[in-house]
Amino acid sequence: MWVDYSPPGGGASELGGSLTGPGACNLPAIGSQVGEAGVISSLAASWNTRFGIYHGSVNQGESVPDHTGHAYTGVPGSWPAKFNAFADFRSKRGIYATYQGDASTGLRTNGTIANSEYLQAAGGDRRMAIVAVLDCDGFTGGSTVAAVQSWACVLMLHPINNSAGGGTGPERMYLEYLGRSDDPGSPCATSGVPGGPSSGGPLVPALVG
């Protein structure tokens, strides 16, 4: 399931716009009901832009990739350690490493891969994301929404199969947990307006007089 921050009206269009655009400007408060049912296969094209891979209706130049598209999957040789991809990810960012190709990762993205020069010139901070932490028991009984409990910082490890929308089985989508987004040392960058003393969302830089 994907997480729509304004159910039920957002849907695939809103989710795709969050992936190709700057993201969500106003995150819902702790306790808000969020969610979106289904795999939503059309979102693969939007998700993969963050790795510098373009296919379908999303073209290069229409969305910002990360500075590296290097992927970490369960295929032998792609990510042998199976943990702490973040350390290697930072080194790959330093050399603007491109996505290494479907033959190496075992995926079927079937897209056009942006080169290193483009990732250096047009790339940004696009693979460390803030995501909602939910109690999945809230999805029982046919419900498509659950309450936000907190916010986490994650690393987007790899693109997903073309038209798979997240996938199932050994090629499903994986993320690496990098801690709570409100930890002072969180690597996830944020922007916006600081909340009040009882706010529970990601930290936002602020000037103090």
Asked if the structure places residue 191 within a domain, the reply is no
Q: With pLDDT > 70 as the criterion, what percentage of the chain qualifies?
A: 85
The tens digit of pLDDT for each residue in 47-66 reads 999 999 999 888 898 899 99
For the chain, the straight-line distance linking the first and the last C-alpha, in angstroms and rounded, comes to 43
State residue 80's pLDDT score: 82
pTM of the complete model: 0.88
- Establish if 3 belongs to a structural domain: no
25 in a structural domain = yes
- Confirm whether 117 is domain-assigned: yes
- At 106-135, the pLDDT tens digits run 888 989 999 999 999 999 999 999 899 988
pLDDT in tens, 153-202: 999 999 998 877 665 555 578 899 999 988 888 898 776 666 665 566 66
Q: Is 207 within a domain?
A: no
Please check whether residue 38 lies inside any domain of the structure.
yes
Residues pairing with 70 in the sheet: none
The CA distance from 92 to 99, in Å, is 10
Residue 6 lies inside a defined structural domain of this protein: no
Range of the domain at 87: 11-180
Q: Report the distance separating Cα 52 and Cα 60, nearest Å.
A: 8
Instruction: Work out how many domains the chain is built from and give that number.
Output: 1
Average pLDDT over residues 98-104: 93
Mean pLDDT on 32-50: 85
Residue 180 half-sphere exposure, CB side, CA atoms within 13 Å? 9
Which tokens sit at 1?
């399931």
Residue 94: inside a domain:
yes
Q: Please classify residue 88 by burial: count the beta carbons closer than 10 Å to its beta carbon, then call 0-12 exposed, 13-18 middle and 19+ buried.
A: middle
Residue 155 bridge partners (DSSP): 128, 176
